[in-house]
Structure 1
Amino acid sequence: MLLADVVTASVAVAATRSRTAKAGTIAGVLRSAAAEEIGPVTAWLSGEVRQGRLGVGWRTLATLSGPPAAEPSLTVTAVDDALTELATTSGAGSAARRDAVLTVLLSAATAEEQQFLVRLLAGELRQGALEGVVLDAVARAADVPPAAVRRAFMLSGRLPETAAAALTGGVAALDATRLEVGRPVRPMLASPGSSLDAALTDLGTGVTVEYKLDGARIQVHRDGDDVRVWTRTLREVTDGVPELVERVRALPCSAAVLDGETLALDDDGRPRAFQDTMSRFGSDASDEGILLSPFLFDLLHLDGRDLIDEPLHVRLDALAGLLADEEHAPLRMPGVRSPTAQQAADVLDGALTAGHEGVVVKALDAPYAAGRRGRSWQKVKPVHTLDLVVLGAEWGYGRRTGKLSNIHLGARDPDGGEPVMVGKTFKGMTDELLKWQTATFPGLARERPDWGVLLRPELVVEIALDGAQRSTRYPGGVALRFARVLRYRPDKTPAEADSIEAIRALLAGG
């Protein structure tokens, strides 16, 4: 298959807002791909490369992009081989060798292929093919049930490998995908709940109500003395969190896959600022003086037994047994199982009094549905908060003159299109945050009008709001009410931002 075929599909996917049309286009390309081409094609149409981050920036690519080729000749395999060479080249003289690989690759590409490769390698290829769309396309191309594809992806966490399994081995290959200790599973997510009473009414009495911490999601795998830790985006952070590794290594088991949260506490046991917790997950993890405390709330595997398909009450029983003794009991997320309405309210009050965000209400009969915001888990906070994508910022005035201040906010389009603008805000910004925005945003700009900057959709910000209202001003027909900035979320990607449907639900509820 030629790279030109993938580029043509990418253009077609970007040109439509229809989820069905996007999936159909991608499915057509995947059906035409040879077995060894399925992985790279799937990755590229998802806006990624199989080899992970290549460390290639816009400036390098612009320098090396010479005159384009007149006719398409690059094959998918040749491009993938070049990317593998880029990813594996290191040591003395590696910069020159990497530049040589890129020069050969780009010089063989047509103008359209060069544009595609530059955006792909710089991590800025956004054609509206979100994971859900690509998973639907894989199911269509392989003629297999979508549920089988999603489950295999949940367990492997690897979209290209899942696509290859589906198209070369069908349902049997997908069903053969198993949870593996040492390979992270995509985390199950909670949907926003409008209130504690509403969540209890929706899910019934067979629930557990647990604290919702203002921390970072972690998934911890133990295999003997080997303990590894991943974030919610499946980025491994083991080397930066030795205190978490030590706590899990001390548990009375030989193999386990644990789900939970971690955060930094002050001397009184109250949560420190979210930024203090996230400082331990940065590229340099420089603030080693801040210790993280783990709070575990789920158990997906224990000593050779997979629990991921078991109902939550079975998983919680196993977790309770693992953390039964006094030494390990503090690792358990606080909560109450099958509470009365008053007991549930007391859990929420206790969480808020302790300085946490709220609670999560979970159905005890639900299996672990990784990667999905299902109704089986509902998070309840006293203040509405949303994770939105920053689309732009305006130059301030008055005391904010010279600073990028009023930010434009977008909600995720569930059909894979560009984020849908739902409002602006300059409220809640400290002088330090204004300084950071002004220094950071120009490097993410895709346009620079006189009034400010339009940004590539890469940053996620957490917004507090009083609700939503109908609006003819914004394309989604809804706008935020009294939005204010709480913090930026470096632990989340735009694909994990709240959707326009979540904001419309606030409108319906208000």
Structure 2
Amino acid sequence: MKAFAELLERLLFAPGRNTKIALLRAYFASRPDPERGYALAAIAGALDFPGAKAATLKALAAARMDAELFALSYDFVGDLAETIALIWPAHGDTPPALPEVIEGLRTANRAEIPALIESWLDRSDASARFALIKLLTGGLRVGASLRLAKLALAEMGLVDVNQIEEVWHGLNPPYTSLFSWLEGKSARPEPGEAPVFRPVMLAHPMEPGDVARTDWRAFRAEQKFDGIRVQIVATAQERRLYTRNAEDISHAFQEVLEQLTFDAVLDGELLVIRDGVIAPFTDLQQRLNRKTASAKLQREFPVGIMLYDMLFEAGEDIRPLSFDARRTRLEGWFAKTKPERMQLSPLIPFSSIDELASLREAARTVQSEGLMLKHCEAPYVAGRPKGMWWKWKREPLSLDAVLMYAQRGHGKRSSFYSDYTFGVWTADGELVPVAKAYSGYTDEELNFIDKWIRAHTINRFGPVREVEKTLVFELGFDSAQLSTRHKSGVALRFPRVLRLRTDKPASEANRLEDVRRLIPLE
């Protein structure tokens, strides 16, 4: 645990991306199995300890120290792991090894886990306690993403990072076969016929200069439908439905899985579709983040998939083919297979960039976020290769809203109030929340907002501060939608801060009726 704790501490304070990669590479190259594999799993978020949650740690802390002291310390520090690590009333120097922690938690029953954690905390110094708690709660937040870890592994093994991406989802902690391959001790582990996720191809956002310097005659256009990107993997062995981030959501969409009676890997968009009409994203949200979906939910929010691309057909990898060739294969496969709950994304004919611009501005009328533009010769490659695929999103909507509540952020922002709830006025003069946002401002603006929040707090609800309703922000967002989860009855999709409006009185912020006018088909 000492080496892992040192790694986390150095990553937390590392000044840049390349430094973090170098730290990870050195750790993976120097630490033994299975320790390094468990560290990689922690960074990947692939470890889960049901009996060791935040509530367990808070209860242990409450039993060891004054409750008021802990509450005040937690409020000041803003991070549970750091708070407990610093004020835990013991100081040891023989922390458990990382494999000891993993294997101990896996073999212990729930009743034994609190005492086990308590003994580890007693044996550890503040640094090791911090690492231990971060590991247990599954929230490292030290600025080291799984992508950085994969880049470090690629440097360590002198391989292209895409080779690691290709096999990653067929591996399990502690990744012994992966390290063996990277060190030249064995062949690359292959997934075989397992229904593994394949790295997705992503598009670059279109900037004004890109429009002028690109030859659009070589591109194909499609709608960028407003759902969630999915990869459909069906083999002779199993079937899976993954998000673009490789999260397996098969369990929540069993009615889709039942129709995957073919052998192919497809790329598409998951949508709620009723009688051929695409529903707003809020309808799809009713199906997301659920372990299962009842028959009633499936009837009320029927899902389908708009197919964009084909990666494999009957075990053949067709990703090296051009977009036009893959599209021809997809169309032929679709006509032959006629898969239920799936449609082909239509290619949009166009004769000029001006015509495309008009289509982009009309995207909201068909539940689209804008256009996808794909070069006819582009192979399907992992990552975001520039010049092959473009996303040309419609212009964002905007409104002025009043800051209502604030909460501390995480990681480097744990000392700042950086997560905000915004509201607009009702006809009766009541401020009702319509959005939460935590991006779009500069570090200088964050410092100003944080100081303002501390000076204008009027109430506290645990970690949340209620503030005076006087500070106005201009918010940008993609669309407004009906929502039963908000008192206002509406919610903004993808809200972000555009600018502070210290020049504007709160009474002049937008009204709820302004937001409702932006909701399609209301």
**TM-score, normalisation: structure 1:** 0.68
Query: Of 26, 29, 33, which residue of structure 1 is paired with 2:27?
Result: 29
Matches within 5 A, 1:187-336: 187-194=200-207, 198-199=210-211, 201-202=213-214, 204-224=216-236, 226-249=238-261, 253=262, 255-267=263-275, 269-284=276-291, 285=293, 287-289=297-299, 290-325=301-336, 327-328=338-339, 331-336=343-348
Partner of 2:60: 64
Contact 1:154 1:370 (8 Å CA) reproduced: no
The Cα shift of 1:282 comes to 2.4
Q: Measure the CA separation in 2 of the matches of 1:212 and 1:381.
A: 8
Q: Measure the CA separation in 2 of the matches of 1:25 and 1:393.
A: 34
Q: Measure the CA separation in 1 of the matches of 2:117 and 2:127.
A: 16
Partner of 1:410: 439
Matches within 5 A, 1:468-507: 486-487=492-493
Q: Measure the CA separation in 2 of the matches of 1:442 and 1:202.
A: 53
The Cα shift of 1:423 comes to 7.7
Change (3 A) 1:305 1:121: same
The amino acid across from 1:34 in the alignment is P
Q: Measure the CA separation in 2 of the matches of 1:23 and 1:17.
A: 11
The amino acid across from 1:320 in the alignment is E
1:59-99: CA deviation from partner (whole Å, max 9, x where unpaired)? 1122235654510331122122134346xxxxxxx531444
Contact 2:170 2:194 (8 Å CA) reproduced: no
Q: State the SS of the aligned residue for 2:267.
A: strand
1:184 aligns with 2:194: no
1:130 aligns with 2:145: yes
Partner of 1:139: 154
Q: Measure the CA separation in 1 of the matches of 2:422 and 2:227.
A: 32
Q: Measure the CA separation in 2 of the matches of 1:199 and 1:53.
A: 49
Unaligned runs of 5+ in 1: 87-93, 413-418, 425-440, 453-460, 466-483, 490-496, 499-510
Change (3 A) 1:378 1:168: same
The Cα shift of 1:263 comes to 0.8
Partner of 2:486: none
Q: Give the share of equivalent positions with the same residue, in percent.
A: 21
Partner of 1:116: 131
1:80-136: CA deviation from partner (whole Å, max 9, x where unpaired)? 2134346xxxxxxx5314445434444443332222222332233211112333233
Q: Measure the CA separation in 2 of the matches of 1:369 and 1:295.
A: 20
The amino acid across from 2:200 in the alignment is P
1:82 aligns with 2:104: yes
Q: Measure the CA separation in 2 of the matches of 1:411 and 1:157.
A: 33
Change (3 A) 1:464 1:294: closer
**TM-score, normalisation: structure 2:** 0.67
Q: Measure the CA separation in 1 of the matches of 2:222 and 2:203.
A: 12
Aligned length: 420
Q: Measure the CA separation in 2 of the matches of 1:395 and 1:265.
A: 31
Change (3 A) 1:380 1:402: closer
Contact 1:265 1:292 (8 Å CA) reproduced: yes
Change (3 A) 1:353 1:450: closer
The amino acid across from 1:256 in the alignment is A
Which piece of structure 1 moves more, 283-292 or 10-19? Answer: 283-292
The amino acid across from 1:370 in the alignment is A
Partner of 2:47: 51
Unaligned runs of 5+ in 2: 65-88, 399-408, 411-416, 448-459, 469-474, 480-489, 498-522
Change (3 A) 1:442 1:326: farther
Change (3 A) 1:156 1:365: farther
Contact 2:269 2:306 (8 Å CA) reproduced: yes
- What is the Cα-based RMSD across aligned positions, in Å? 4.3
Contact 1:209 1:339 (8 Å CA) reproduced: no
1:239-291: CA deviation from partner (whole Å, max 9, x where unpaired)? 32233224432xxx4x1111101111344x43322121121122254522210
Partner of 1:393: 420
Q: State the SS of the aligned residue for 2:229.
A: strand
The Cα shift of 1:140 comes to 3.4
Q: Measure the CA separation in 2 of the matches of 1:291 and 1:219.
A: 18
Contact 2:49 2:105 (8 Å CA) reproduced: no
Partner of 1:95: 110
Which piece of structure 1 moves more, 173-182 or 16-25? Answer: 173-182
The amino acid across from 1:273 in the alignment is P
Change (3 A) 1:295 1:135: same
The Cα shift of 1:407 comes to 5.1
Q: Measure the CA separation in 2 of the matches of 1:274 and 1:154.
A: 31
Partner of 1:90: none
Matches within 5 A, 1:430-469: 445=463, 451=467, 463-464=477-478
Change (3 A) 1:204 1:272: closer
Contact 1:410 1:420 (8 Å CA) reproduced: no
Partner of 2:511: none
